[in-house]
Amino acid sequence: MDLSETDNRSVVWLTGASSGIGRELCLELIAQGHRVIASGRNEQALAKLAAHSDRVIPLAFDIADPNAVEQAGHKLAELTSHLDQVIVNAGSCEYLKFPDPDWSAATRVMAINYSGAVDCIRIALPLLKKASGRGHIVGIISQVVFAPFAQAEAYGASKAALSYFLDSLRVDVADSLDVTSVFPGFVKTPLTDRNHFSMPFIVSAEDAAKRILASLSKRPRRFIFPKRLHWLLKLSVICPRLWQKIMVADNKANNKDNTPVREKK
């Protein structure tokens, strides 16, 4: 089916649609009347989403597998002649637990959160250039990039890399496309359900999706929420030593009953 021929509403490609924030984004997008090509690895979860509405088309693949990404690129072009928006949301988190971390986690997380996201943008670009209006690229980053957190070396670095990539891309595609970087704070999803530390100002995935979509209509360069967390993280810039002391103490306290958290399911 060519999605773009069925009517003139937006065609959105959403990665990480099978769970958490992405699932809620998908449900909200279809409620708004958009058509969504929904990606993730979990075919069952995507099929359940598609059962909600014929406006959801599942496209299952592993974004960390370059061959699978190429295949997905061909499939995308079969599904639609254009994309109005791509939301690169798929992500994974693995913590480095010192003194004996699993160093390979850094490579795995980078392959999904950075290289996978960049690959998805690459294969979406030709279709975004055919958008009915100005195409829109959206990256789901994280407020982790604003302050150093214990054990977050792999996750934070991958998100910081994606953040820079999108800032730079915004300049290069300014003539034809908009680029929005979204920085959520803590959101209750399977990804954070495994955390054993306190997550201030945590919001539900449904709330996060609603806030994100409300902001996207204005196509901002950046959308950061909740703002209260952002203000708190500014402490790491204003008083970096104090921030470090707090993080060290917090890490020691959490490590007493914390088992290493390793993605994936």
Ligand X SMILES: NC(=O)c1ccc[n+]([C@@H]2O[C@H](COP(=O)([O-])OP(=O)(O)OC[C@H]3O[C@@H](n4cnc5c(N)ncnc54)[C@H](OP(=O)(O)O)[C@@H]3O)[C@@H](O)[C@H]2O)c1
Considering the complex, what minimum distance in angstroms separates the CB of residue 241 from ligand X? 26
Query: Residue 10 or residue 89: which is nearer to ligand X going by CB?
Result: 89
Task: Tell me how far CA of residue 140 lies from CA of 78, 94, 143, 184, in angstroms.
Answer: 26, 17, 10, 8
What are the catalytic residues?
155
Minimal CA–CA distance to 180: which of 150, 146, 143, 141? 141
Considering the complex, what minimum distance in angstroms separates the CB of residue 143 from ligand X? 7
Task: Tell me how far CA of residue 33 lies from CA of 26, 27, 28, 54, 123, in angstroms.
Answer: 11, 10, 9, 11, 24
Considering the complex, what minimum distance in angstroms separates the CB of residue 16 from ligand X? 3
Residues in contact with ligand X by CB under 6 A are 16-22, 40-42, 45, 62-64, 89-92, 112, 140, 142, 184, 186-187, 189-192
Considering the complex, what minimum distance in angstroms separates the CB of residue 207 from ligand X? 12
80: left (phi over 0), alpha (psi -120 to 50) or beta: beta
CB-count burial class (<10 Å; 0-12, 13-18, 19+) for 198: exposed
> Is the peptide bond between 226 and the residue preceding it cis, with omega within 30 degrees of 0?
yes
Query: Residue 131 or residue 137: which is nearer to ligand X going by CB?
Result: 137
- Strand locations in 15-165 (E): 35-40, 56-60, 85-88, 135-140
Query: Residue 134 or residue 258: which is nearer to ligand X going by CB?
Result: 258
Contact 201, 143 (CB under 8 A): no
Considering the complex, what minimum distance in angstroms separates the CB of residue 99 from ligand X? 26
Query: Residue 192 or residue 258: which is nearer to ligand X going by CB?
Result: 192
Angle of helix 20-31 relative to helix 205-216, nearest 10 degrees, comes to 50
Helix or strand (DSSP H, E) at 25: helix 20-31
Contact 41, 17 (CB under 8 A): no
